[in-house]
Amino acid sequence: MRYAGRLAAVAFVGALSLAACGTDNNTGASGTTAATEAAADSGLSGTINAAGSSAQANAIDQWKKEFQAKNPGVSINYQPSGSGAGIQAFIQGTVALAGSDSALKEDEPAKADARCKTGKAVNIPMVTGPVAVVYNLPGVEGLQLSPKTLGGIFNSKITKWDDPAIKADNPNATLPSTPIQAFHRADESGTSDNFTKFLEATAGWPYEAAKAWPAEAKGQGAKGSDGIASSVKDTEGAISYVEMSYADNSQLQKAKVANGSGEFVELTPESAAKTVETAEVKGTGNDLALSIDYATKTPGAYPIVLVTYEITCEKGLPAEESKLVKSFLTYTASDEGQAALKDLGYAPLSGELLTKVRSTVEAIS
């Protein structure tokens, strides 16, 4: 599988105050029986304050509900403050887990390893979040957009909905001359990082892919995934990028996007999963940073996806912290935990990648 970058993952912010006892939480590669036992350890107690990716906020809410029901002595507080903030909190030692929509990169791995002291930080992919291209154009359903057209729109080169490039993608549509209002994330975001990686790989995007939106591209900023969804919903002529779960929750129009073969593909959990299945693990050892082929030519593959990583120490956390973190991640990687994602607008992990995720979680000590 191909995935880009080194892992940056779900952020758990604040102090972990734990009292853990009982049997060890072993997570077998099969994931089901051992995961259920680990997730329901009556000896676990404590509070996990968490923060990071807003893309996985809906997944965390569901996992938190189910995990706390199995472990009434545990309280999980997750703040969807954004991927960048989550990584910094982990590096600073104020969280045991960080949630990020892109893997650790540049100088982050060394800093994260230093935070772990006796071990290394690992990127653990846990949530596949398809990124929807959402728009607000009454009367125009089933909009189709090629990567090149998207690049022109988000670089402020295509400014009206009846532009010839959009007409070429939609020969049978009646398009209005409404001005395009392109929204991007105002905060540093793994969603922006993945979206600009897609544009860089497929659309001749002239700026470096990054969590921060390039000022030269202009457009309008909105904070967080909630901010993007509400801005598009409230603005006729708007277009943006946001996780599928937020698009569905806000009942936003979603465009079909052309993949590397030129096929316009509707976004579904299944079409996004086809792109994830072509990804490659780039990390070493138990680090599972991935590289995504945004130009995939796999039939029926929707090309814009992100993977949210849970970043923690493979070794180096206090024993009580490690026990609680391992138990929670054992649950999120279980059959039950992954099955819950599909109804929330995410694509569950499967196959070889899921087996590797469970092995990495099992190695936490």
Give the residue from 310, 326, 350, 319 showing the smallest Cα distance to 37. Answer: 326
Provide the terminal-to-terminal Cα distance of the chain, rounded to the nearest Å. 27
Query: What is the signed CA dihedral for 126, 58, 184, 198, rounded to 10 degrees?
Result: 30
CA-nearest of 148, 112, 61, 139 to 343 is 61
Measured distance CA(181)–CA(123) in Å, rounded: 35
Would the annotation count 245 as a binding residue? no
Handedness of CA 28, 31, 32, 34 (dihedral sign): positive
Q: Whole-angstrom Cα distance, residue 357 to residue 187?
A: 29
Instruction: Give 181's strand partners.
Output: 238
Q: Is residue 350 annotated as involved in ligand binding?
A: no
Q: How far apart are CA 316 and CA 200, in angstroms?
A: 37
225 is known to lie in a ligand binding site: no
Write out the two tokens for 94. 């104020």
322 annotated ligand binder: no
Distance CA 104, CA 119 (A): 16
Round to whole Å and give the CA distance between 254 and 266.
Answer: 8
Q: Is 278 part of any known ligand binding site?
A: no
Produce one character per residue of 289-321: b if its CB has 16 or more CB atoms within 10 Å, e if not.
Answer: bbbbbbebebeebbbbbbbbbbbbbbebbeebb
Which residue is it, tokens 């800093």? 111
**Residue 193, annotated ligand binder?**
no
Max Cα distance, the chain (Å): 66
Q: CA–CA separation, 231 vs 290, rounded Å?
A: 31
Is position 54 annotated in a ligand binding site?
yes
Question: Is 261 labeled as ligand-binding?
Answer: no
Cα torsion 108, 109, 114, 120 to 10°: value is 150
Q: Alpha-carbon distance 140 to 328, whole Å?
A: 44
184 and 47 in contact (C-beta within 8 Å)?
no
Binding residues are 53-55, 83, 101, 189-191
Binding residues for phosphate are 53-55, 83, 101, 189-191
